[in-house]
Amino acid sequence: MDRPKIPVDLILAKLAAEAEAAKHRLERARDIFHGPLATDIGTTPYELVYQADRVRLKYYRPEAARLKTPLLLVHGLFNRETLLDLQPGRSIVHNLLKEGLEVYLIEWGSPTRRDQFLTLDDHINGYMDDIVEFIRRRHGVPKVNLMGVCLGGTFAVIYAALHPEKIRNLITTATPTHFNTAKGLLHIWMQEIDVDRLVNAFGNLPGNLVNAAFLLLNPPRLLLDKYLGFLENMDNKDFVENFIRMEKWIFDSPDVPGETVRQVIKDLYQENLLVQGKMRLGGRRVDLRRLTMPLLNIYGQYDHLVPPEACEVLAEKVGSRDTENVCLDTGHVGIYVSSRFQKETIPKIAAWLLAREG
């Protein structure tokens, strides 16, 4: 019988050394777990300035504002906006404030069954437009800067195409606009989803179903390797705190209003109407050529959720001649939490806005 050439002595020696290291790690981790852990998210101080139904608007004031035009951040409905303020002192919101930007952030809240009939039109031409109007009045400015995050970026693109007169500059991050791509698993799966059955059964799309779908995008990494990494670093307090913050954010997906899900899946994922200029909202056609304002389009090269193919087409489809695609060497969430984004891209965004302040 053939025997594999297994260096048992070396393997055992390494295992023994690892066992000893694990024992020391466990002792140090015990002290960390028994002590206080700072795992709160969304801790940058803000002022609640507007509320309509479940939707709220947070205002973050910089120490010294460098731009007259405020920046409105729009997150998607499938996750919480707290991604943008995950780690105290190192969040996107915090760093935008450091750059002297006045920041507004939409908090979509937690839809309940009574929100199931809210459509994409209600979110974009309703809540978003009311919020933009509020900011314009509050600051006495004709236009605001708009920055979209993930599917919130798609909302921002649609809004800017319908109301270009209210937007000075548009920034999209990890924003899908071309949905007919076989590169992302989500795009492949969505083609086959019978969204009518889904919405009829659940009313709203349950947040836990969304969580499960995200986990299924890469089970080895998200269900195994991630937690082994945690075990290996559980004696590092900073690591533990950041890990728990991220876990809190990931598994806190809200339910999504059913009618909005129906339209997002049908019109965007299945029919790919937006990029073809065929999408209609509130009785009006969404024409991307009406996006004549400067556009900064940022996406991740290794984003499996929103692959570059889904993002990069936007710059070619808009009417603006001032467009820039920025492809970062990271994945989906990495765009928002990586130190590179914090150190390099946020100052770039601030400089880009400053140069176009007018």
Would you call 218 exposed, middle or buried from its count of C-beta atoms within 10 A (0-12, 13-18, 19+)? middle
Q: Which residues sit at the interface with other proteins, rule CB under 8 A?
A: 1-20, 23, 113-114, 116-118, 122, 126, 182, 185, 188-189, 192-194, 197-198, 200-203, 216-221, 224-225
Least Å distance, CB 89 to other proteins, is 33
327 is catalytic: no
- Residues 350 and 50: their CA atoms lie apart, in Å, by 25
Least Å distance, CB 283 to other proteins, is 12
**250 phi, psi to nearest 5 deg:** -60, -45
Cβ neighbours of residue 358 closer than 8 Å, sequence gap 6 or more:
168
Q: Among the options 118, 150, 156, 246, which is catalytic?
A: 150
* CA angle (310 as vertex; 308, 313 as ends), nearest 5: 90
- Residues 123 and 156: their CA atoms lie apart, in Å, by 11
Indicate the residue among 116 and 145 with the shorter CB distance to other proteins: 116
The H-assigned helical ranges of the chain are 8-34, 92-98, 120-121, 129-139, 151-162, 185-192, 195-202, 207-216, 219, 226-232, 237-250, 258-263, 273-276, 308-311, 314-317, 334-337, 339-340, 346-355
Least Å distance, CB 12 to other proteins, is 6
Least Å distance, CB 214 to other proteins, is 13
Residues involved in catalysis: 150
